[in-house]
């Protein structure tokens, strides 16, 4: 086994460890978010919280016009959002909620999961 191959394996292993640490952090943030939503539901407060699709952080904010989203503020395109934790930026935002799901919501979730399964095949 050559030196280059050892370095390649070492880099791959380090990358795998970084991904595992990110997933661990992401899952902890997600569990904390779920607990807060459950506590709010017990108090009778129903809320929608914007979350980052990459790291699941609730620290998502709308991008200002002078920071790169002039079209969103003019109403030509949907607004752009960014995550303060990981730097993710896009016009799509996910919401976590503790509201009861309606029939329409369940149908959308089922359709999305069917699309996801079709892409895997």
Instruction: Note the pLDDT tens digit of each residue in 56-113.
Output: 888 888 887 777 777 777 788 888 888 888 888 888 777 777 788 788 877 887 887 7
**Are the C-beta atoms of residues 50 and 80 closer than 8 Å to each other?**
no
Are 82 and 51 spatial neighbours (Cβ–Cβ below 8 Å)?
no
Structure tokens at 79: 């607004």
Whole-angstrom CA distances from 117 to 92, 105, 113, 120 are 21, 19, 6, 5
- pTM tops 0.75: no
Number of domains in the chain: 1
The range of the structural domain enclosing residue 59 comes to: 3-120
């Amino acid at each position: 086994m050559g030196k280059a191959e050892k370095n390649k394996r070492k880099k791959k292993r380090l990358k795998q460890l970084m991904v595992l640490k990110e997933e661990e952090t992401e899952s902890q943030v997600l569990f904390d978010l779920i607990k807060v939503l459950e506590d709010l539901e017990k108090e009778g407060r129903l809320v929608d919280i914007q979350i980052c699709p990459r790291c699941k952080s609730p620290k998502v904010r709308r991008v200002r016009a002078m920071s790169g989203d002039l079209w969103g503020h003019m109403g030509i395109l949907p607004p752009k959002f960014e995550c303060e934790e990981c730097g993710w930026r896009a016009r799509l935002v996910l919401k976590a909620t503790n509201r009861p799901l309606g029939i329409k919501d369940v149908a959308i979730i089922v359709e999305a999961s069917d699309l996801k399964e079709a892409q895997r095949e």
